[in-house]
Every structure is written in structure tokens, then in C-alpha cells.
Chains A and B, each alone.
Chain A
Amino acid sequence: QSALTQPASVSGSPGQSITISCTGTSSDVGGYSYVSWYQQHPNKAPKLMIYDVSKRPSGVSNRFSGSKSGNTASLTISGLQAEDEADYYCCSYAGSSTSVFGTGTKVTVL
């Protein structure tokens, strides 16, 4: 149950697009299509942004999109806005009713 690998930080200017990667193994990201992404603002609980690799829950902006290739999942934020500045975590099912989170990425809007 090793944490999935994410870049520590990603930044972009308002209006730009950024992509956050999430690398695991064939035992988690690569083995299942059960990848989700969470946004966490300081001192707040996380919020589900993407599930089933690329689906958005009701109420989540379509500026957020997800994808997966092999052992790596990605979250793309298009039309970056100031309110998107937060920490982002990927998460994958890891078999045997267990789950593993990514190391987290701090997104900065320049």
C-alpha cells in the first residue's frame, strides 16, 4: 500500500490549462478503473471532483477532466481560476477492499 506518486506542485496563470499526474502500479491505478480525484482547500475537508477515472459528480465544473493510461492517471484543469488554488489528491482502488491515495499536489494560480 505505497502512496501513488504525484508532483509536489503545479502552477499556471489564470485561463491556462494544467495537468496533474498520478502514477501507481498494476496493482492499483493500472489494474482498476476506480480512480478518483479530490480537491482540498486549506483547513477544509476534501471534495470529490472526479470518479471512475473521468466522470464528474453533479455540481463539479466541466473545467475538470480526468483520464488514465496504463499505470498513470491524470487530472486536467482547463481555464484555470483563482478558486482552483488548492491541494489535489488522486485515489485508486487497490484490491481486497483497500484504497490508496496519492502524495498530493499543490496547485498555485499565478
Chain B
Amino acid sequence: QVQLVESGGGVVQPGGSLRLSCAASGFTFSSYGIHWVRQVSGKGLEWVAFIRYDGSDKSYADSVKGRFTISRDNSRNTLYLQMNSLRAEDTAVYYCAKDRGWGSFYFDYWGQGTLVTVSS
């Protein structure tokens, strides 16, 4: 079955960097776009970034543009999120979510999430 497993979360100081990973299995990873979505504790969901199945198209929320970079390694079935210049407001659980197909921007499978805490 489809599985998405995030890792790489932790505590980082403001201005610091962190790289999240999302290991995928149970589907043809190289055929689907993947998203990052985050959720502040007790708050709502926020779409963060998207990468096309072949990595040729990437997009970001205004709140992270210029600081975060999404990438993927189809040979390793792994998605990444490089987060630089981190701020307190980036503290959240980060989920990777599989696109339903054709860049539909429907998230049909989600990981369990990894917590990022930005604090001094």
C-alpha cells in the first residue's frame, strides 16, 4: 500500500537550516507530483510547496518563497524540503502528500508528519 514517511524534523535556532525527507513506497513515485503541507499545532493546514513528477516544475507558498527549496530523487523514491533562514512562524508539523495525479492539487495520501521547532 502507499506509504509516505517523513523524517528530518527537530529543533533549530532562528536563521538556521533544516532538510526534511519523505520516503515513498507502494506506488510509482516517478509518475506523481508531491506536495509539502504544514500545520501549526492546534491550527489549520497550509500548503507549502509542490514538485512535478519529473521535477521540472516547482511552486511555493509566498510565506516560504526564496527560503525553502523542494526537490526529489526519483531513483531513491525520496522527496526533500530544504528549509533555510528559518523563523519562529515556520514551527509546525510538516506533511508530505501525494498528488492524486496530473498536477490535480488533490492530496490523496499523506505521511504521518515530522515536527519542526524553530526556537532559541
Contacts and interface: CB of A to CB of B under 8 A. Distances in A.
Interface of A: 1, 3, 34, 36, 38, 40, 45-48, 51-52, 57, 89, 91, 93, 96-104
B45 A34 contact: no
A48 B105 CA distance: 11
B45 A46 contact: yes
A99 B108 contact: no
A98 B58 CA distance: 10
A90 B35 CA distance: 16
A34 B110 contact: no
A89 B57 CA distance: 26
A1 to B, nearest CB: 5
B46 interface: yes
A3 B63 CA distance: 12
Contact of B110 (A1, A46, A89, A104): A46
Given A34-B105, A96-B59, A45 B45 contact: no
Given A52-B106, A97-B103, A99-B35, 14 more contacts: A46-B107, A48-B100, A48-B108, A51-B100, A89-B45, A91-B47, A97-B50, A97-B57, A98-B59, A98-B60, A100-B47, A101-B37, A101-B47, A104-B44
